[in-house]
Amino acid sequence: MLRTVQREVGRRVPGACFHILISSLEAQFANMSGLISTLRSSNREELLGSNLLVRGQRALQFLHNSDFRRAWMTSSGSAREMLKIKSVDAIIDVSGYAYGDAWNVGPCKNAWAWVDYCKRHNKPYIFLPQAWGSFEKRGIAKWARRLREDASLLFARDQESFNYLSSLSDKPSDDIRLAPDIVFRFKGAHPNVGASILRDVGFEVKSKPLVGIVPNMQIYKRTQGIGIKNKYVQLLVKIANYCIDDLEASVLLLPNQIKVPGKTDQDDRFLCGIIASLVKQNNCCFTIRNYHQSEILKSVLSHLDLLIASRFHSLVFALSSKIPVVALGWSHKYSGLLAPFGLSKYVCQHDQIDQTDVNNMLKSAWKNRKDNKYLIAETLPIIQKEVDATFDLVAEVIRR
């Protein structure tokens, strides 16, 4: 998403520089992309918070920096970010899905500290199209309401998110805009790059139909069981075997979220590894395990005949490459993504279906993949035109 903002806003606001809050391990990859890195506070810095010297420095900041002092009352993290970044002309929020009952109140408070800063300094804070809600929890609803009221520009990327935002206030919803995900304008690498990656893992393009499976650690964590006993993992193994045995296709296990080298916590490769070890016909199952930039992952996806994914932006990559999809989701954002293409019947929640339902859906998606490809090709230019209009408005607000 950040790369899309960099490209599209940069084309419309000449000379713009883009700063990103990021960890030290991620900084080298951001710098290679032309993004200016501002490092987040490390665990060591957090531990030093009780140090007398650090306490003294913060006391001085409270005395001399009103922005730091005000932000600290809501979010100490955002306050420290302000000290590091010092000054910006606009903030563009591409959180994707961070504000709602599925998360704690922290993201809302962190964002509002910056929204408040921008409002007081007459700078725009822009929420680009993302998923919102629900807002049943009182504390989250309170802070989300502030975000809605004080942001300069706010987009929802699906009707259900729009409705959740509207429910935060009795006033008209004129301040909320509905627009598609900006990644529909993300530019992937040349198809030859993806073909080379596939050859590296042992698959020759066009030698056999290829079905991609993209798992999601977020669903794994929300599903009963650990490792091979996890219900979501078991479902994906059955799907892989079905594609190989019944659809007579090869399967590509593709992790969409891959931690940068040096990070040791689990990412989607963990799930791909379990699934690969349990698939019956290993010679028909291929796995991408190395870290690759998003442009390369999109190029790989462009060679699929069908994508079965639980990662939102993998689905966007496929759709923008005119590849038919099936979504195994965990929130309303998946149905909102596929609805404009007339593909809502190919969305299911991972915890509300049995294997028969999945097999019937896959059988239908496979049988109708050419028709679905036509639906995608027909709708995609309309979606991309709406994304262009979104960036035109964002650039206008920033210039103004």
Domain ranges, ordered by start, for the chain: 2-185+384-399, 191-382
In this prediction, residue 64 carries a pLDDT of: 67
Q: How far is CA 244 from CA 214, 229, 296, 318, in A?
A: 16, 22, 25, 20
Centroid of chain to Cα 251: 23
CA angle 273, 276, 279 (to 5 degrees): 150
Q: In 3-state terms, what secondary structure has residue 246?
A: coil
Say how far apart CA 220 and CA 266 lie, in whole Å: 11
In this prediction, residue 256 carries a pLDDT of: 83
Tokens of 308: 């079965």
Q: How is domain 191-382 classified at the CATH fold level?
A: Rossmann fold (3.40.50)
Tokens of 112: 């509002």
- Are 2-185+384-399 and 191-382 the same fold in CATH? yes
Say how far apart CA 364 and CA 343 lie, in whole Å: 11
In this prediction, residue 274 carries a pLDDT of: 95
Where the chain has pLDDT below 70, the residues are: 24-25, 27-28, 30, 39-64, 260-264, 352-356
In this prediction, residue 49 carries a pLDDT of: 47
In this prediction, residue 47 carries a pLDDT of: 40
Average pLDDT over the chain reads 88
Q: How is domain 2-185+384-399 classified at the CATH fold level?
A: Rossmann fold (3.40.50)
In this prediction, residue 35 carries a pLDDT of: 74
Question: How large is the C-alpha radius of gyration of the chain?
Answer: 22
Residue 252 amino acid letter: L
Residue 369 amino acid letter: R
**Can you count the helices (H) and strands (E) in the chain?**
18, 12
Say how far apart CA 83 and CA 79 lie, in whole Å: 7
Say how far apart CA 99 and CA 95 lie, in whole Å: 8
